[in-house]
Amino acid sequence: MRVSQADSPVMFARADRVRYNEVDMHGGVNNPIYLVWTQDARLDFLRSRGVDPNIYLPVVMEAHIVYKNFLTADDEYRIDLRVTREKLNHQFLADIVNLKTGKTAAIVDQRIVFFKDKKPSRDNILSL
């Protein structure tokens, strides 16, 4: 279940724009692109916190996407990332927001487990 925005603060934000190769024949962003964007934001966030994703490999165990509004080519967007932890699971919540309209385009909820030496890690790498 998705945690509301009020329950956890934005820990990282990343802005970019929609490229033409990311849209379908109807002009909307292809659905799997949202997962690619959140993966890129997650890796940037980890690096900003000094976490090497080659040592602590983030593995997506579950993903849920709610599509709310279309993004099209050349739209600028921002990903607001929130992170919480329960035991081995890290919940990465990403709101993808159209910068021009301020509307949320998609909400992505992912459960991540970090692996180290091919085993789930219990290390508190993000100090959560």
Predicted pLDDT at 2: 52
Q: What is the pLDDT of residues 49-98, one digit of tens each?
A: 999 999 999 999 999 999 999 999 999 999 999 999 999 999 999 999 99
Instruction: Write down the pTM of the prediction.
Output: 0.90
Predicted pLDDT at 56: 97
Domain parsing of the chain, residue ranges: 11-120
**b/e for 35-74, b at 16 or more Cβ within 10 A?**
bebbbebbeebbeeeebeeeeeebeeeeeebebeeebeee
Give, as one character, the DSSP assignment of residue 44: H
**What is the CATH code of the structural domain delimited by 11-120?**
3.10.129.10
The residue among 56, 23, 25, 27 whose CA lies nearest residue 126 is: 56
